[in-house]
Amino acid sequence: MVLSENISNQHAGLPAVDAATLRRVRKVLAVHLSYPSRAAQRGRVPQEPSYFMKATSSLSVTGSTVERPAGTELLAFEGEIALIIGRTARRVGVEEAWSHVGAVTAANDLGVYDLKYADKGSNVRSKSGDGFTPLGTYLVPADRVDPTALRIRTWVNGELVQQDTTQSLLFPFAQIVADLSQLMTLEPGDVILTGTPAGSSVVVPGDVMEVEVDTPAHDGGTALSSGRLTTTVVQGESAFADFGSTPRITDQDRVEAFGSAAAAGLTPEAPVLTPELKAKLGSVATATLSSQLRRRGLNNVSIDGLQSTRPERRVVGLARTLRYVPNREDLFTSHGGGFNAQKRAIDSVNEGDILVMEARGEKGTGTIGDILALRAQVRGAAAVITDGGVRDFTAVAGLDMVTYFANPHPAVLGRRHVPWDTDITIACGGATVQPGDIIVADADGILVIPPALAEELADDCIRQEQEEAFIFEMVKEGNSVDGLYPMNAQWQEKYAQWRAASGRER
């Protein structure tokens, strides 16, 4: 690609994105998710990159305005790094893909969530409005930058709202270019929008958005920059015709557009595991919980055959899940390296979560070691549960976080496993575990509790343990268990009197 040279450039000698640049664009391709921060915000981590297309008529240059269409509320910005193809690419490999990129620049992938429902995943209407893809301000030659050392920043009305780097992308730029080229010919001038980090939100008329991409030079010299791509939001006046899809939004659309329920001004859903419920479940033994689950017909809810690094501890938390599949060398090559499913799972656990791993009971290798276990602890995980082995056992056992495991083993992950997927239904230690299940573990064992049953289960367990405390005391005084365990009517009456006298009436 011959970069535009017909403008007097005033930014580090770089060519500007101008009308001629936009005329060369034949395709605008965009990646759905590529930054770990955005994937964590959306609650899903894709295994492979996926794409959508935007109309070339959506392109604009810095200093342009963009309309928020009449009748819409949720015009959202997404600061992104745009790749400009410089050399024709067809079925290229990852190793050579970057050489087909001519330049990088800043982009703003704007869209209206009010029309997302009508697109059925294509993003045609919601993302292709006129002016919805500003590019610029300057083109940074790709051969002068390291694609893993770029920084993306976005400002709204002068406030920094997005900032991330390309160091830990889910899908490196070379992979994206190579992947797209397997099916279609990428031509000089084509634009690839590479995804946005967390921080995207809604803008309103009058807001000014600025996006910048910068990077240090290879020789350690002056940093290169795209300059700030500036776009101002204005209010559209033309209403949508009634013969097509018209704006429509749900609370979920608002959450996705703003980035969170709180930012959207919505009351978030009540947490499944409230502090009160967690305290109740933490006050009763798993043996009691097991008996109450059995009364409800649930007999296969225990994770069996594991040891604990801290058997004296009782933990309660929400399950996050990770699945390993048996090692196959080609699959380990494609899924085992980089920011793989194992690392993504550990890097996305939240305070109090319990990461449960399906390792198929395979004891011949480690599924977690000291560094990743420490990372889980730093993230606030309550525990890690694996029905496979643990590496660096002494260090893992020395952490404050509890780890439940089948056995220590020195071998690395690639000997027996490929980390495959996260936050899906798995099997661990003979039990089925779903993301969001409640895990309670102590010296007696590990139980998986369906969230819908947890509140009444906890209350019944508290009542059962009060009864058993009374029975224990009566047996200790020399009473026979006949009629006492379980209690007949006579003992029930004495139990009621005991509760009243001991202040345990509720």
Sorted by sequence, the CB contacts under 8 Å of residue 241 that are 6+ apart come out as none
Q: Which amino acid is at 489?
A: A
Q: Residue 2: its pLDDT value, please? A: 37
Q: Residue 85: its pLDDT value, please? A: 97
Average pLDDT on 259-268 reads 79
Residue 39's pLDDT band (cuts 50, 70, 90): confident
- % of the chain surpassing 70 pLDDT: 94
Q: Which residue has the tokens 């939004």?
A: 249
The residues facing 215 across adjacent strands are 224
Given a contact cutoff of 8 angstroms between Cβ atoms, the answer to whether 474 and 347 are in contact is no
Average pLDDT on 357-364 reads 95
Sorted by sequence, the CB contacts under 8 Å of residue 71 that are 6+ apart come out as 114, 239, 240, 246, 247
Q: pLDDT tens digits, residue range 155-201?
A: 999 999 999 999 889 999 999 999 999 999 999 999 999 999 999 99
Under CATH, what is the fold of the domain 300-449?
Glucose Oxidase; domain 1 (3.50.30)
Q: Residue 3: its pLDDT value, please? A: 38
Q: What single-letter DSSP state applies at residue 268? A: P
The residues facing 85 across adjacent strands are 101
Residue 220 has pLDDT above 70, yes or no: no
Residue 392's pLDDT band (cuts 50, 70, 90): very high
- % of the chain surpassing 90 pLDDT: 69
Q: pLDDT tens digits, residue range 115-124?
A: 988 887 789 9
Rounded CA gap, 190 and 84, in Å?
6
Question: Strands 229-235, 64-68: parallel, antiparallel or unpaired by DSSP?
Answer: parallel
Q: Residue 131: its pLDDT value, please? A: 96
Residue 10 has pLDDT above 70, yes or no: no
Q: Residue 278: its pLDDT value, please? A: 94
> According to the CATH classification, is domain 19-258 in 3.40.718.10?
no
The secondary structure of 122-184, three-state, reads CCHHHHCCCCCEEEEEEEEEHHHCCCCCCEEEEEECCEEEEEEECCCCCCCHHHHHHHHHCCC
Q: Residue 498: its pLDDT value, please? A: 84
Terminal C-alpha separation, the chain: 78
| 3-state SS, residue 28 | strand
Sorted by sequence, the CB contacts under 8 Å of residue 159 that are 6+ apart come out as none
Q: Residue 8: its pLDDT value, please? A: 35
Rounded CA gap, 173 and 104, in Å?
11
Backbone phi, psi, residue 439, to 5°: -105, 130
Residue 263 has pLDDT above 70, yes or no: yes
Between 38 and 308, where is the model more confident? 308
Residue 43 has pLDDT above 80, yes or no: no
Residue 449's pLDDT band (cuts 50, 70, 90): very high
Mean pLDDT estimate for the chain: 90
Average pLDDT on 260-271 reads 75
Given a contact cutoff of 8 angstroms between Cβ atoms, the answer to whether 247 and 238 are in contact is no
Domain boundaries of the chain, sorted by first residue: 19-258, 300-449, 455-502
E strand or H helix that includes residue 19: helix 19-23
Q: pLDDT tens digits, residue range 301-356?
A: 999 999 999 999 999 999 999 999 999 998 888 888 877 889 888 988 889 999 99
Rounded CA gap, 450 and 436, in Å?
8
Name which of 391, 384, 389, 323 is nearest 349 in CA terms: 384
Average pLDDT on 385-398 reads 95
Rounded CA gap, 105 and 142, in Å?
10
Q: Residue 505: its pLDDT value, please? A: 54
Residue 269 has pLDDT above 80, yes or no: no
Least confident of 33-47, 62-76, 182-196: 33-47
